[in-house]
Amino acid sequence: MGTAFTDESKRLFLGRFLLPEEIEPWIRAQSLGSLPAIYGVTHHTWAPTPATWKGRSSLDGIFRYYRENLGWPAGVGPHFFVAPRERGGPWGVWVGTHPRHDGIHVSGWNSRSIGMEYVWNGDLAPFTPEMLRIGTLVWQAIERKIGLPIRISYTRGSPGHFMHRDKSPKSCPGNRNDRAAIIDAYRASTQTQIPDFLEDLMAQLTDEERDQLLADIHNTALASMEQTELQKRTVKSGQALSYRVNALLAGVLSLVEEEGELPEVVRAELAKATEAGFTVPGSA
């Protein structure tokens, strides 16, 4: 039997290690707040690296450096560290600051963002497939928990993911790591994808229009859908639409509302959502 996790959101700093198979059940058990994160940010540590990583003592050392050298509050920093349990040990993810709380990891963008560090020097080599697989397990679980979409975020208020260097002069997560490749790796492992017609619709919008639409429908859907009910639903590939697809469908409804008759492909997707037991905001 797997480990039965409890909600640890009242703690600011955890220092907990999770094996890949423990990531989803742990995140499922956590409270992520009434206004959960809308951004996911990818980083690398640069140092330490896997060769110098010593597990909990290394994590404690990083947070001690934040406190003593950078003046950050105790226990406040990035949320997740993809790393070995110890040097040469199995890989998984260390939880630093609990994702229920705002951390510190990208200047000016710490509010409602979750920071993930890879214990790696991305200026020397790209992340390995196994590292990205573990990172994806975290983002996939968070997506199902709160609807944080796995897509590139372009502007403030646009839910999604970006690299530290997108908002900073630093190279983080390293010059050898390509933004699109990382997001594609995250998305390729998710169980549900945005339907093709919605991707096509997004492609027809300007960056500003797309960002505004996604921000509006994310916040509207988050406010109107019962989180406790969402958590009880199992999303299976090909059988049910994910939370973010429902949110996008709500956005499509608002876009085509003025056209009168809904396109058949939109009607088909709405029917699938209804059959799967999802309530699409604005479709009543």
**Per the domain annotation, does 131 fall within a domain?**
yes
156 and 201 housed in the same domain: no
139 and 83 housed in the same domain: yes
The residue among 170, 188, 206 that closes a domain is 188
Mean pLDDT, the chain, rounded, equals 80
**Per the domain annotation, does 175 fall within a domain?**
yes
113 and 17 housed in the same domain: yes
82 and 130 housed in the same domain: yes
Q: Cα separation of 194 and 120, whole Å? A: 31
What are the pLDDT digits (tens) for 12-23? 999 999 999 999
What are the pLDDT digits (tens) for 95-130? 999 999 999 999 999 999 999 999 999 999 999 999
Q: Cα separation of 189 and 136, whole Å? A: 7
Q: Cα separation of 150 and 121, whole Å? A: 24
Range of the domain at 208: 196-275
The residue among 171, 188, 205 that closes a domain is 188
**Per the domain annotation, does 179 fall within a domain?**
yes
More confident of the two residues 155 and 80: 80
163 and 222 housed in the same domain: no
Q: Is the pLDDT of residue 206 over 80?
A: no
**Per the domain annotation, does 2 fall within a domain?**
no
Q: Cα separation of 20 and 17, whole Å? A: 10
**Per the domain annotation, does 3 fall within a domain?**
no
Q: How many domains does the chain have?
A: 2
Name the band, by pLDDT with cuts 50, 70 and 90, for residue 269: low
Q: CA dist 204 to 40, 81, 259, Å?
A: 25, 37, 16
Q: What is the CATH number of the domain that holds 95?
A: 3.40.80.10
Q: Cα separation of 265 and 126, whole Å? A: 39
166 and 72 housed in the same domain: yes
Write down the pLDDT at residue 139: 95
For 245-264, what is the mean pLDDT?
53
Could you tell me which residues are beta bridge partners of residue 40? 114, 161
> CB-side exposure of 220: number of CA atoms within 13 Å?
18
44 and 131 housed in the same domain: yes
131 and 257 housed in the same domain: no
Name the band, by pLDDT with cuts 50, 70 and 90, for residue 192: very low
What are the pLDDT digits (tens) for 21-76? 999 999 999 999 999 999 999 999 999 999 999 999 999 999 999 999 999 999 99
Does residue 59 contact residue 15 with C-beta atoms inside 8 Å?
A: yes
What radius of gyration, in Å, describes the C-alpha atoms of the chain?
A: 19
SS3 content of the chain, % helix, strand, coil (to 5): 40, 10, 45
**Per the domain annotation, does 6 fall within a domain?**
no
153 and 242 housed in the same domain: no
62 and 164 housed in the same domain: yes
More confident of the two residues 62 and 269: 62
* pTM exceeds 0.85 for this model: no
The residue among 130, 154, 188 that closes a domain is 188
Write down the pLDDT at residue 212: 64
